[in-house]
Amino acid sequence: MDRDNYVINCKTFEKLIHDFLADRLDNDTEEAFIAHLEGCENCREELSIQYLVYAGLPKLETGETFNLNNELISKIESERNHVIRRKKLTNLAYSMEMITICAVIASFVLLAIFA
């Protein structure tokens, strides 16, 4: 599977909602999840409903006041930032690896020429 173009459909989205709310998605899946969320009104609605059940019901029991819509929006926002940050870290790690490999190759070449 081409992970860069990892796209999920509505059916998969629905299955992933619970894992998303529980912070159990891996980075690629989460990225695809959020991308789908942004383009699909039905799934946004579905997520709101699930979030209401997931986060709202425990709070009803404790009598806590809450604004679920804002909470959901800020959760999506923070998850999106996580995805971007983790992606940057992965890219950085990859660049460092590449630099190291190049340095090793360069030193072999230099050794071959001057030794």
Main-chain phi, psi angles of 54, to 5 degrees: -70, -50
Return the half-sphere exposure (C-beta side, CA atoms, 13 A cut-off) of residue 2: 3
Q: Which is nearer to Zn ion, 10 or 60 (CB)?
A: 10
- Which parts of 16-45 interact with Zn ion (CB under 5 A)? 40, 43
| Span near Zn ion by CB under 5 A; candidates 10-18, 52-60, 78-86, 91-99 | 10-18
Alpha carbon distance 8, 19 (integer Å) = 14
In this structure, what token pair is assigned to residue 44? 């946004």
Q: Which is nearer to Zn ion, 17 or 43 (CB)?
A: 43
Return the half-sphere exposure (C-beta side, CA atoms, 13 A cut-off) of residue 94: 6
Q: Which residue is nearest to Zn ion (CB)?
A: 40
Least distance in Å: CB of 43 to Zn ion? 3
Residues that bind Zn ion (CB under 5 A): 10, 40, 43
